[in-house]
Amino acid sequence: MKFFRSHSFQLAGVVGLQLALIAIAPTVADPARGAERSAMHKSSVPAKLAYCEDCHGPSGQGFHGYFPIPRLAGQQTEYLKNQLEAFVEHRRTNNIMFNVAHSLNPGMLSALANDFHALAPPPLGGGVRHLVPTGEKIFQNGVPEANVAACAACHGPNAQGSGEIPRLAGQLPDYVFNKLINWSKERGQIPSKPDISAVMSPVAHSLTRPQVEAVAAYLSYLK
C-alpha cells in the first residue's frame, strides 16, 4: 500500500511537469496561442491609453492642476518615444514618469505614441489673452537683440513640430512656462548622452520670464 501511494505521487508529479512544460512552450510552436497573445496585447493598448489619460486628461488634452500635466494629443510620435526613453535612462527628471516609462515595453511605447499622435481635441487655452500678440511675435520672429532665433524655425509656423521636434500648439501655458524656466534642471541630465533637448538650452536661458509667459500664452490657443 505504501509503495502504491508513492508510485501514485511520482506519476502525478510527472504528469504535472508535462502539463507545465506544455503551458510554457514557446508560442511559435502554437500559432493560435501566438495570435491570442497578440490580440491580448492589442486590447491592452486602449487600457494603457485610458490609464495615461487619468493624468493627461480626456483625449490627452492636458490637465490644469497643482502640477500642470502636458497635452500629449497630436504630439509627434518620434518625440514621444524619445522622451519616454529619456525618462527610462534618467536623461530627463520626473519621479512619476520614471516608474511609468519603465513599465512600457517597446511595442507598447510605440503603440501609445501613435495613438496619442492621432488624437485631436481642442486646446484648453488658459494663457493670458493680452500677452498673445507679443507671444506670437516672439514665436514667429524670435528676439534678435537677445540672439534668440524664431521658434517657428524649428517647431514650424503653426507649432506642429516634426520628428524629434515637439508639437507645441495647444500646450498648457503653465506647463510651457515651468519647463522653459526650469530647463537645465530637468533636461539633458546625462551630458554624455545629449539629445534634441540640447538645442533648447541656450534659448530657454536667453528668454526673460515675461517673454516665456507671452510665448506660452500664444501657444495655448493654437489648434
pLDDT at 90: 92
pLDDT at 215: 98
Q: Where residue 180 sits, what CATH number does that domain have? A: 1.10.760.10
pLDDT at 13: 42
Q: Is residue 199 one of the residues assigned to a domain?
A: yes
Global pTM value: 0.79
pLDDT at 83: 94
pLDDT at 18: 39
**Which residue type, as a one-letter code, is found at position 124?**
L
Total number of domains constituting the chain:
1
Q: What is the mean pLDDT of each run of 10 residues along the chain (223 residues)?
A: 40 38 37 45 78 94 93 97 93 92 91 96 97 98 96 97 97 97 90 85 95 98 97
Q: Is residue 191 one of the residues assigned to a domain?
A: yes
Name the CA radius of gyration of the chain, rounded.
25
pLDDT at 43: 53
Q: Is residue 158 one of the residues assigned to a domain?
A: yes
pLDDT at 139: 98
pLDDT at 66: 87
Q: Is residue 3 one of the residues assigned to a domain?
A: no
90, 188 Cβ separation under 8 angstroms? no
Q: Is residue 162 one of the residues assigned to a domain?
A: yes
| Cell numbers given for 5 | 501511494
* Domain carrying residue 131: 42-55+66-220
